[in-house]
Every structure is written in C-alpha cells, then in structure tokens.
Structure 1
Amino acid sequence: MAGANRAVRERGRVRRQLLLDGAVKVISEQGIGGVTHRSVAAAAGVPASSATYFFDSLDHLIAEAVRSAMDQELERLNGLNEIVSASDAPADRIVDQFIEHLRTAPDQHTVAQFEMYLFASRRPELQRQVAEIIDATKAVAAGALRLRGITDSSAAVALVALIDGFALHRVAVPSPEQLSSLHRALRALAIGYVALESAEVGAPKQV
C-alpha cells in the first residue's frame, strides 16, 4: 500500500511539473494573457481537468509557473557560478562562459522570463523570485569581474543589464552577429572599468 501511495504521489508530481512547464511554454508563445487551464493542459499533453485539480486558479498556476521557471534559472546560474569561481582561465574565457550561458538558454525560457518580469512588477508577492534571479546573476558577474581586479559594485549591475538587454533583443529580432557583439561589449565594459578605477585611484582627492 505504501508503495502504491508513493507511485501515485510521484505521478502527481510529474503531472504537476508538466503543467508548470506547459504554462511557461504558453507564456513564451502567447504571453501571460494566453494562459488558460485548457491551453496549459494542451501544452502539457494532459487532460484539461488536471490544471484545475492541481491549481486553485489561473493566478495560482501562473505564480507557480513563475517560481518554477525562476528556480530552474537559479540552478543554471549556480552552475555558471561554480565554473566561474573554480576557473583559473584568463578573463576572456570567463566572458566566454557568460556568452555560452546566454546561448544555451532555451528561447522559450528567455521569452517567458521577460514576460514574468513584467507580470511580477504588478504582483509584489512574486517580486522576491525575480529579485533572487537578478541578485544571483549579479553575484556571478561580480565574481567574474573580481578576477580582473574590478571591485566596483556598479560594474556587476552594468554587466547584468548589458546581458539582459542583448538577451531581450536576441529573442525579439534574432541575429547571428549579436553574440559576437555582446562578447566585444563585455570586454569593453571590463576594460572601461579597469581604466576608470585606475584613473580614480590616481586622481587628486576633492576638498
């Protein structure tokens, strides 16, 4: 009996995750407004009744999909952070890791991410998850910049904004040249902050 109960719970867990992944797919293709119990169930390949069984309302379904997508992105960021922190490669290789992280991100997750950012801006209870993603990205960026001797906290903020801007443009108007442009922009940002910090260290103090 215990084994049968575990099997039922596992099937329920799998079906619930299918619905969350289906919601992310719908959000990426149709926006938040396209999320209905029927559309999500169809994207998940499960009966429509499953969505209403696992989620009390559409708001509940959307909120859980946001959390699930953000948790998956946090896992990717943690993996990137481990690579950056453990690497003794030249700084340019660290830039390559950021580019690879962006390149391998599933397009539907990237589109859904920006949809969810806007959705969370109107739902304070979801802003914590979005803040966690942004803070985690900043932490990885700060670690990479420290390898180049850059400790200015604004550099990590600028780097994340630069990456997010390129990601938004890439999903809006895909172009093969964008990643090489981002690579050059990231190098320019790092070089610029090194020069800025050097100039500020050598500048006379204001009185």
Structure 2
Amino acid sequence: MKPHNPDLVIGDDGLARPIWAVNDPQLRNYYDTEWGLPVCDEQGVFERLCLEGFQAGLSWRLILQKRDNFRAAYYNFDPDLVAQMEGIEHLLNDERLIRNRLKLQAVLKNAQATIAMREHGGLAEFIWSFQPDETPLPEVMADVPTSSPESIAMAKELKKRGFSFVGSTICFALMEAIGIVDTHLVGSWRRGSSGVWPC
C-alpha cells in the first residue's frame, strides 16, 4: 500500500518513510534511529560537522559505510586528541577513508577551532544558537531546502572562527542531522520525533 504522497513509502512494518530511507538497510536504520534526533554535546556535534564536510559531493550512504573507519582514524572525534595529531599523511594511504587531503586536514583544523570556542560557550551551544523560530514543513522532497538564512549565517561565523568545509549547505545538513530543524516529510513516522518541534 502506497500513501498519497509520492515521496513517502509504507514499509513492511507499516511505517511511512521517504524514498531514500526505504531500500538500503543502513540508510533505513540511520533514518529510523538517528537522523534528526538532538545532539547537544561537543564531541557529537564536532563529529557530525566533520562527517557532513566529508559528505560534500558524495553520498551519505558512503559516509555511513566509512563512519567507523573515520572514528578509528580520528580518536572517536575527540577534539583534544585530534588537535594533537601531527598530520594526515598516514591517512592519505588508508583505503578505508575518503582520501581527500583538504577534507582530512579540515578535521584537524576544526578540532583546534572547537577547542578555541570553549572560551565562548562551546561548539554545541554555538551551533544550537542558530535554531530558527520555525522549522520547514516539507510535503515532498522538492520542498526540503538545502540552506536557510540561519545556515548561511552559521557558515559565515564558523569560517570566521577558523573552521573549514562549513558552507551553508553543509551547515543546513548538520542542522537537519542534529535536530535543529525538522525536515522529515509531513506524514513520515519520524516527523516531530526529535521533541524539539511539534508535528
């Protein structure tokens, strides 16, 4: 049985999900258990910001496949440990990672910038300060924005503070991933599940 919305599919469990989260088990699990739920700790926000940077130009499925490898390479995204790394040359030879020099180096730079932000409330508090007054209400995938005034402002301020790979699209994807906005399609079983926004 298919719902009226062409971008939502009823799964074998009777729950409606967007098309992208239906067929691939890893994407489905990510959608069902993680995407859009609030993340408010420094390490969690730092990891997701870095992973969104790695995703630029690539598929999120690929990032999920390599996430454990990234966690191993970057000390579980502990900013203090990452900031002490002497370089990324050894990572460029690691076939388990995305071997893009600029992206790999950005994690070290972003760790240093994250540590510097502790004097001003910290990364998580800063990122969450860009929560808008209302969230999108997308009916179909075409309604889901890829940036917002808040993500544009966030990207600008992060760059001022020394972060890399933090464009407005990456920042908006981060906002979606950690619950700052809710872009679950109206009618999806996950709509409103973050507790941050009403259905």
Instruction: Please say which structure displays the higher CA radius of gyration.
Output: 1
TM band (smaller chain): under 0.3
Work out which structure has the larger RCO, using CA pairs closer than 8 Å and 6 or more positions apart in sequence.
2
